Structure 1
């Protein structure tokens, strides 16, 4: 699909293509950060009057023009790239590739293509966008852009009424710090609710489940969404985020704060950025997290909600992406 170069950056209304991986959850989804970000960005672009086409998994819903994936071979790089290229609308101004392997960004297309790198991977694409400064530094060697993920604050229930339990919400894998969360519960005597999908059944059966079974104060409620997730988030005394890896963003942190729930986290990955206004909630060790659970000095729920509203909304995210789109289009048209 060819694109005629012109003064496209002066247009008020852009023609934008958003592409998410076929392996993602159908949109909208509250089970994955990438899915949330792509959905909120797409909806906000449409609200602002842009002409948006979204390539997404079957079962997705959107205000944009929706093209859902069908056929065999779609999960391969070539299959996905061919599927999208055959169905691109005419006169597209920019493509935004959210696929986990940046399959369109790695193609030599005649349309400027921005790639958000949602995972901690190094992709050699022309216009990369990372979801934190830290991710851009580590994965991109400070090349490209960064934009924080954003949420629709109206969709998150806020509460000042907290119950006496800690919450771990995320994929049940070693890197997310699930064992460390259990350590904190055991050593503080606090109740802990664990929620999230089991991604490594062997790890769960051998190392996680036995410790849950031995402690009546710890419960595993499985993967959650909708009302159940909202209730867990808004009533938790504190969300534990003992991440052990280069977490590119950490969506659940802003979700918890939007509900007025504090986040206690290990100082890894993007944590210092996401919790920048609450440095005393960032810990250098599990022992420090334990001490702070025992003697809590949590921020006020209203301060947490206000903080998310000022920094991590879908409106702010979309404004930053539109600025990048126009800059990339202008650079593209000047070559």
Structure 2
């Protein structure tokens, strides 16, 4: 993350408002379905552990150690801004907007704000934060900041015991590369488990289901979370991540490696950054991915786990956001002081 040296005292507690609610499909925090909700939860919890005063605006059913403010039933996206302003605590120093369409950060506010751009959008607030360098390059024209997503590695079960199956885990849509994962399974003769919510029913019915019916080694296990997700991740021989689009981050890659499971991924989006420590796992084509599956030249499970703990934890993510909060608050203070008339 690019920023200047920050002069605000490191120990000073901040008053922070976190805002998340991606209507019409708002998920509670944390969510077994949404990576964004998981990231916001981890950030919020770590901020509270460090003694900061945090208020979290989120969907009903959410849980948090922060001061939790849930939205009323039926509230629309364009109403979030006003609701946050009416209910945020006095003395708030910064607002962190996580909504997909920047419901708060693009508005006139009584305090500075930043906006994490979790998905590709054309409009965002004054201080955009992207989740990878590639996302900042494509969506922000190289402007703004970037902070990698982080996970609480203590919540991910490690295992060096693998059960010989390939795993695809993600939303079932064409751009996620589920068809390409099936091609790898077909070329290698390996078992493939497909996990994730079906977001494109016609695509699934017409193209995925037929391939599954003709190959008993391929099975769709549905959307997963909790213990079932842990078991699938930690015992997979390899996670396939053949994304076809400019994926801003790809949290499941980090989750798999935290469990000691290697990831083979196509060289799109943030993949070269997330897998920078293991360039041998990055693939130029489906054919090359299939060859790598056959070769089975993977890093050790322990090295994969260590890699995540050194780069993609909730603590490292929070460190960077706190530095950014302080920098933005400092800049705002400078602007105000420069705008005041000089004393005689």
Q: Pick the TM interval, shorter chain.
A: over 0.9
SS in 2 for 1:221: strand
Aligned-pair CA distance for 1:170: 0.3
Given that 2:77 and 2:103 are in contact with CA atoms closer than 8 Å, whether structure 1 keeps it comes out as no
Given that 1:21 and 1:99 are in contact with CA atoms closer than 8 Å, whether structure 2 keeps it comes out as yes
1:32 corresponds in structure 2 to: 34
2:4 corresponds in structure 1 to: none
1:37-75 Cα distance to aligned partner (Å, 9 max, x none): 100000000000000000011000000000001043x22
1:209 corresponds in structure 2 to: 209
Matches within 5 A, 1:212-231: 212-231=212-231
Q: How many residues align?
A: 327
Given that 2:132 and 2:270 are in contact with CA atoms closer than 8 Å, whether structure 1 keeps it comes out as yes
Aligned-pair CA distance for 1:30: 2.7
CA–CA distance in structure 1, aligned partners of residues 77 and 32 of structure 2: 25
1:328 corresponds in structure 2 to: 328
1:297-323 Cα distance to aligned partner (Å, 9 max, x none): 101000000000000000000000000
CA–CA distance in structure 2, aligned partners of residues 144 and 314 of structure 1: 21
SS in 1 for 2:240: strand
Matches within 5 A, 1:127-166: 127-166=127-166
Given that 1:22 and 1:56 are in contact with CA atoms closer than 8 Å, whether structure 2 keeps it comes out as no
1:168 corresponds in structure 2 to: 168
Given that 1:22 and 1:69 are in contact with CA atoms closer than 8 Å, whether structure 2 keeps it comes out as no
1:1-55 Cα distance to aligned partner (Å, 9 max, x none): xxxxxxx944711000000015332112232211111000000000000000000
Which shifted more, 37-46 or 85-94?
Answer: 85-94
CA–CA distance in structure 1, aligned partners of residues 160 and 88 of structure 2: 47
Q: Confirm whether residue 75 of structure 1 aligns to residue 86 of structure 2.
A: no
Q: Please give the TM-score of this superposition, normalised by the length of structure 1.
A: 0.96
Counterpart of 2:48 (choices 43, 46, 66) is 46
SS in 1 for 2:129: strand
SS in 1 for 2:239: strand
Given that 1:120 and 1:139 are in contact with CA atoms closer than 8 Å, whether structure 2 keeps it comes out as yes
Residues 250/169 of structure 1: CA separation in 2 closer, same or farther (3 Å cut): same
Given that 1:147 and 1:321 are in contact with CA atoms closer than 8 Å, whether structure 2 keeps it comes out as yes
Given that 1:17 and 1:53 are in contact with CA atoms closer than 8 Å, whether structure 2 keeps it comes out as yes
CA–CA distance in structure 2, aligned partners of residues 124 and 166 of structure 1: 38
CA–CA distance in structure 2, aligned partners of residues 295 and 85 of structure 1: 56
1:4 corresponds in structure 2 to: none
Aligned-pair CA distance for 1:95: 0.3
Note the aligned Cα RMSD (angstroms). 1.3
Ranges in structure 1 where 5+ consecutive residues have no aligned partner: 1-7
Which shifted more, 24-33 or 227-236?
Answer: 24-33
SS in 1 for 2:222: coil
CA–CA distance in structure 2, aligned partners of residues 228 and 155 of structure 1: 13
2:89 corresponds in structure 1 to: 89
CA–CA distance in structure 2, aligned partners of residues 154 and 29 of structure 1: 17
Aligned-pair CA distance for 1:123: 2.4
Residues 303/174 of structure 1: CA separation in 2 closer, same or farther (3 Å cut): same
CA–CA distance in structure 1, aligned partners of residues 185 and 76 of structure 2: 40
Given that 2:101 and 2:124 are in contact with CA atoms closer than 8 Å, whether structure 1 keeps it comes out as no
Counterpart of 1:58 (choices 44, 57, 60) is 60
Given that 2:22 and 2:77 are in contact with CA atoms closer than 8 Å, whether structure 1 keeps it comes out as no
Given that 1:245 and 1:269 are in contact with CA atoms closer than 8 Å, whether structure 2 keeps it comes out as yes
Q: Please give the TM-score of this superposition, normalised by the length of structure 2.
A: 0.93
CA–CA distance in structure 2, aligned partners of residues 81 and 68 of structure 1: 13
CA–CA distance in structure 2, aligned partners of residues 9 and 202 of structure 1: 54
CA–CA distance in structure 1, aligned partners of residues 115 and 314 of structure 2: 18
